Structure 1
Amino acid sequence: MQTVKTKYFEYGQEEMDYLTSVDVTLGVAIARMGKVERVIIPDLFTALVYAIVGQLISVKAVHKIWTRIQDRFGEITPQNIAIQTADDIQRCGMTMKKAVCIQNVARMIEQGAFDLDELYVLSDGEVVRKLITLNGVGKWTAEMMLINAMERPDVISWGDIAIRRGMMKLYGLSELSQEQFEEYRLRYSPLGSVASIYLWTISFE
């Protein structure tokens, strides 16, 4: 039984108009696609587990594993996951490394050794620095938390292959340097997260 509560990333015409005004090419794509809905997971622990599951695997594989986790464990809370063995978590279809990471994170939060709620009062950079202190959590995972749980407005992840692919497709590039990426990121600011939503969509077209 699937129990995770989700919502859509909140943005509207004002944000779409702004991005259109600063980048004509992106604006054409926005006009063609209209508003793109991005499902997010507001609960920080659930979103963190989802982000760990999603490391370096396809969207289809993530969906399959995520469904199994919910069917097997029900509500995804630190208390519920902390009592599971790494083997039980791994049987949902992920690597043992990810299973151990999820188990350890759940136990740290359950024991009070890591305070997820503190993230709400931190800047984007501070959130990333705090999250990457957890074993198995890198910069990409932390940046996905900023967008897909916390709805921070200005996040574009260089570490996200789909975002880079979407950017290359949008601008007709055969390759993309980090310097070029940074130019686009600054152009989209302070609404990089909405730009990311469109770049993700473009990458899968």
Structure 2
Amino acid sequence: MSTRRSARLSAASDLKSSSAPPPAPPAAQPAKRGRKRKADAEVPTEPEANGAIPEAAPAPTTPSKRRAPKKSAAATGPPATPTPSRAKLIAEPAGRAAAPTTPKPRPAAVSRLADPNATNAVLLSPETSRVVASSRTKAATAATTTATLLEEANRHLISVDARMRPLVEKNHCRIFAPEGLAEKIDPFESLCSGIISQQVSGAAAKSIKKRFVELFVDSADGKGDEETTPPPPPFPHPSQVAACPLERLRTAGLSQRKAEYVQGLAEKFVSGDLSAQMLADAPYEEVVERLIAVRGLGRWSVEMFACFGLKRMDVFSLGDLGVQRGMAAFVGRDVAKLKTSKAGKFKYMAEREMEEIAARFAPYRSLFMWYMWRVEETDVSTME
């Protein structure tokens, strides 16, 4: 009897326990995005001894990177102007870049007629190395000569604006001095040098030019006696460059485009579109028009060639950043406060204002421009 009762009680107890609701499952963790979700899935959760489920360990997070603050235009400053350092290669006398380390004797200054509105350089024919004389300077009626040109130009600048006096007294412009005007310039070499120097440092440009000249030197040329220094190799003639394959020109360090520019320039001289005689006699506007038509020669390059190569006294470059900055400082403005145009270009002074100021210094604006590159090296405030 007791055995049956015990069996019934045991069965009722089992039935009661089986009908009880199961324990609630743990709350589902919200889905996470990106790398955190993957990290959470890799951390298993095990029940503790008391049946509680521990919280999942926080997923490792990558610290956010701090962005460097953008530098303002005023902080970074304007791009460096390549003038006048880059123009030095344009103004080099014929064959000077290929000369050995021993300096070549400078030619003696010879007084001859000069004209502020004409070419005053001694030009060589690129094909024959013959000296080309300008018919315009021969016809000049004024008594201006290469010995007095710089002195007369400086007097004119000072008479226009007394603030030019400290600039003139501190800086000697050798370009238009008698010794500078006595140097012989090969216009083809000068223009090639301008193309070679584009977008490279001065040292790189000289190295490329040296290798360019050596491409056209025969193995037997340039060899002197053991006791004498061999003469520097001459700059190649336009006909040699025009006939040279582009692949060979590139071995000197020229890019494909620069090789095409140099060869195109040579073809202009070979065809007669450009010549030393034309550059010596033509008006400035015609010189600019002829040269800008050549691929690889922009307005700035042409203006620098006219000033430093042809030694023309009335050239003025509105697009040169160094001239802009110098003129702004010259009229008393704080150039440290950089102004930018809507196009994002650095501007210190409007071109119209630059033209108006420079016009007063004609016909010696080339010399005025040269002094503007050196304004910040000279205190002109005492003359205000």
1:156–1:55 distance in 2 versus 1, CA, 3 Å: farther
Q: Counterpart of 1:27 in structure 2: which amino acid?
A: R
- Between the two structures, name the one with larger relative contact order (CA 8 Å, sep ≥ 6): 1
Which residue in the other structure is 1:66 paired with? 209
| Identity in percent | 25
CA contact (8 A) 2:307 2:315 kept: yes
Q: Report the more deviating stretch, 57-66 or 173-182.
A: 57-66
In structure 2, runs of 5+ residues without a counterpart are 1-92, 97-105, 110-120, 122-145, 217-232, 336-347, 379-384
Matches within 5 A, 1:135-174: 135-173=295-333, 174=335
Note the C-alpha offset of 1:201. Answer: 4.3
> 1:38-187 alignment to 2 at 5 Å?
38=175, 42-73=185-216, 74-76=233-235, 77-110=237-270, 112-116=271-275, 117-173=277-333, 174=335, 175-187=348-360
What is the TM-score with the length of structure 2 in the denominator? 0.46
Structure 1: gaps (5+ residues): none
Deviations 1:109-137 (A, max 9, x none): 22x25232323222111111111111222
CA apart distance, 1:204? 8.2
Alignment partner for residue 197 of structure 1, among 362, 366, 370? Answer: 370
Q: Is the 8 A contact 1:3 1:70 kept in 2?
A: no
The 10-residue stretch of structure 1 (24-33 or 127-136) with the greater mean CA deviation from structure 2: 24-33
Amino acid at match of 1:103: Q
Tell me the CA shift for residue 19 of structure 1.
Answer: 0.9
Q: 1:113 to 1:15 in 2, by over 3 A?
A: closer
Distance 1:27 1:94, change over 3 A: farther
Matched, 1:22 2:165: no
Offset at 1:169? Answer: 4.1
Distance in 2, Cα, partners of 1:88 & 1:172: 52
Quick one: distance in 1 between partners of 2:361 and 2:151?
A: 15
Range moving further from structure 2, 48-57 or 149-158? 48-57
For residues 121-165 of structure 1, give each alpha carbon's deviation from its aligned partner in whole angstroms, at most 9, with x where no partner exists: 221111111111112222222222211222211001123333333
1:203 to 1:70, Cα distance in 2 relative to 1, 3 A: farther
Q: What is the RMSD computed on CA atoms of the aligned residues?
A: 3.0
Provide the C-alpha distance between the structure 2 equivalents of 1:194 and 1:22, rounded to a whole number of angstroms: 13
Secondary structure of 1:190 counterpart: coil
The number of equivalent residue pairs is 202
Superposed CA offset, 1:40-98 (max 9, x none)? 76221111112222334444443343343344444222133223333333343443222
Structure with higher helix content: 1
Which sits farther off after the overlay, 148-157 or 24-33?
24-33
Q: Which moved more, 1:9-18 or 1:188-197?
A: 9-18
CA 1:89/1:126 → structure 2, altered by over 3 Å: closer, same or farther? Answer: same
SS in 2 for 1:62: helix
Instruction: Look up the equivalent residue of 2:249 and give its one-letter code.
Output: I
Question: Normalising by structure 1, what TM-score?
Answer: 0.80
Give SS of 1:24's match.
coil
Using the alignment, how far apart are the partners of 2:198 and 2:184 within structure 1? Answer: 16
CA contact (8 A) 2:94 2:189 kept: no
